[in-house]
Amino acid sequence: MTFTPEVIDLLIEARWIAAVDPDVVLKNHAVAINHGRILAVLPASEARTRYQAAQRVTLDEHILIPGLINLHTHAAMSLMRGLADDLPLMEWLQKHIWPAEAEHVSAQFVYDGTRLACAEMLKGGITCFNDMYFYPEAAATAAAELGMRTMLGITALEFPTPYASDADDYLDKGLAVRELWRNNPLIGFCLAPHAPYTVSDRSFERILTLSEQLNLPIHCHIHETRHEVEESQRQHQQSPLERLHHLGLLGPGFIGVHGVHLAESDLELLAATGSSIAHCPTSNLKLASGIAPVVRMRQLGINVGLGTDGAASNNRLDLFGEMRLASLLAKGTSGDASALPARDILRMATLNGAIALGLGHEIGSITAGKAADLCAVNLGTLETKPCFDPVSHLIYVAGRESVSHVWVAGKCCVDHKTKPNPAQNDLDSAIALWQNKLEFRQEP
């Protein structure tokens, strides 16, 4: 009887594959992909016999990992990169960022800024980002054009902006956009109340109702600065997290962003409710907010993912940088060199982020049945040799410049470090235009 190989779309062979779930590193294996999904992970020699692939990619000196997940960013703020550096958070927001947004943020601004952010993130191995910003329709259009997976925030604030007049208006507009994009498999939505100090109890109650009715995660800045916590104690006689818990928002669908200043009771609340934290170490340091107690979070079993925050406060959308910094900060603050080892950090940047977004069944690991969101990292260059442990090299040696290929749902978005997207030819001129406008408003 003659054996007939199964015809598939793509076969990727790699020197190493870090599956994440299960927590194994496979050598000389292959990933079989069809219709955007992972069919199997198996030895390369067996894969060549079993499958007839329309395309085969051989990565002799690479490690293949799940696509990285940026659990918190403000993508369109890439156009404000470096606009007002070296300032504390509230001065940065109130005197620079919010005035610039009031004058310039529009659907076109968000479209161009999100295109820039997506291009940067894809080239750095990020295949999915969790966004919080205005004009989500423009952000969805930009992400879809570049083939990137995203969870877009349905933002809520109590004060008016050019986008909306009050919290109800923000929510209503965001929900209308969700309805328009609900059939796109790469575009999802979160409810995104900005922070407890900008959202009322009444609005939080509506957000909770919507979350329960529509099964949407809640994505919210929380405990970012000491001042925020102190003001909450003064106004509400409880911490911001205690307030949100009292309102019913904490739970497996809640993603708290930053979580820098957390008392033990706050940490226990996060653990008991199954809430997640988006850890943004670079932004926390750059704005002098502090260092989140991630080691203690992990001891308590809290799900922690990694985010960059926006390029205005980082100033890079670079999860390789966040992975390395998160690991080093954990070791330095705990006095334990074994804290947050490389494999734990890789899981934080992949599967933990997927779980926080409610996408753990779909992305975050190289597992049969999941979407083929993948990133190939070249460990064969002079700067990365010798290589004794490829996962350790991912965190402590390689950088985003080592990313060679990226696939989202099986579609190649970065090929040999190049983004094959001629539709983005006008991006440079669009960025230059916004730079001129933003520079004009800056005080001399």
CA-closest candidate to residue 353, choices 300, 308, 287: 308
Which pLDDT value is given to residue 87? Answer: 87
Using DSSP bridges, classify how beta strands 37-43 and 126-131 pair: parallel, antiparallel or unpaired. Answer: unpaired
pLDDT tens digits, 404-436? 999 999 999 999 888 766 556 789 999 999 999
Q: Which amino acid is at 46?
A: E
The predicted pLDDT at position 1 comes to 59
Tens-digit pLDDT profile for residues 246-267: 999 999 999 999 999 999 999 9
Edge-to-edge strands, sheet with 254-258: 68-73, 126-131, 149-156, 187-193, 218-222, 254-258, 276-279, 303-306
Q: What is the pLDDT of residues 174-231, one digit of tens each?
A: 999 999 999 999 999 999 999 999 999 999 999 999 999 999 999 999 999 999 999 9
Q: What is the 3-state secondary structure (H, E, C) of the chain?
A: CCCCCEEEEEEEEEEEEECCCCCCEEEEEEEEEECCEEEEEEEHHHHHHHEEEEEEEEEEEEEEEECEEEEEECHHHHHHCCCCCCCCHHHHHHHHHHHHHHHHCCHHHHHHHHHHHHHHHHHCCEEEEEECCCCHHHHHHHHHHHCCEEEEEEEECCCCCCCCCCHHHHHHHHHHHHHHHCCCCCEEEEEEECCCCCCCHHHHHHHHHHHHHHCCCEEEEECCCHHHHHHHHHHHCCCHHHHHHHHCCCCCCEEEEECCCCCHHHHHHHHHHCCEEEECHHHHHHCCCCCCCHHHHHHCCCEEEECCCCCCCCCCCCHHHHHHHHHHHHHHHHCCCCCCCHHHHHHHCCHHHHHHCCCCCCCCCCCCCCECCEEEEECCCHHHCCCCCHHHHHHHCCCHHHEEEEEECCEEEEECCECCCHHHCCHHHHHHHHHHHHHHHCCC
The residue among 111 and 440 whose pLDDT is bigger is 111
Segment 83-92 shows an average pLDDT of: 87
Q: How confident is the model at residue 286 (pLDDT cuts 50, 70, 90)?
A: very high
Cα gap 102→384, rounded to integer Å: 45
Q: Which CATH superfamily is domain 6-66+371-409 in?
A: Urease, subunit C, domain 1 (2.30.40.10)
- C-alpha dihedral sign at 119, 121, 125, 126: negative
Task: Please report, rounded to a whole number, the percentage of residues in the chain having pLDDT higher than 70.
Answer: 97
pLDDT for res 305: 98
pLDDT category at 355 given cuts 50, 70, 90 is very high
Write down the mean pLDDT value for the chain: 96
pLDDT at 444: 42
**What digits encode the pLDDT tens for the residues 46-67?**
999 999 999 999 999 999 999 9
pTM flag (> 0.85): yes
The pLDDT score that the predictor gives to residue 92 is 87
Digit-coded pLDDT (tens) for 123-162: 999 999 999 999 999 999 999 999 999 999 999 999 999 9
| Mean pLDDT score, 264-277 | 98
What CATH class is the domain 68-356? alpha beta
213: Cβ contacts below 8 Å, ≥ 6 apart:
none
The whole-number pLDDT of residue 3 equals 79
Query: CA quadruple 26, 402, 86, 69: dihedral positive or negative?
Result: negative
Name the pLDDT band for 118 (thresholds 50, 70, 90).
very high
User: What is residue 395's predicted lDDT score, i.e. its pLDDT?
Assistant: 98
Domain boundaries, the chain: 6-66+371-409, 68-356
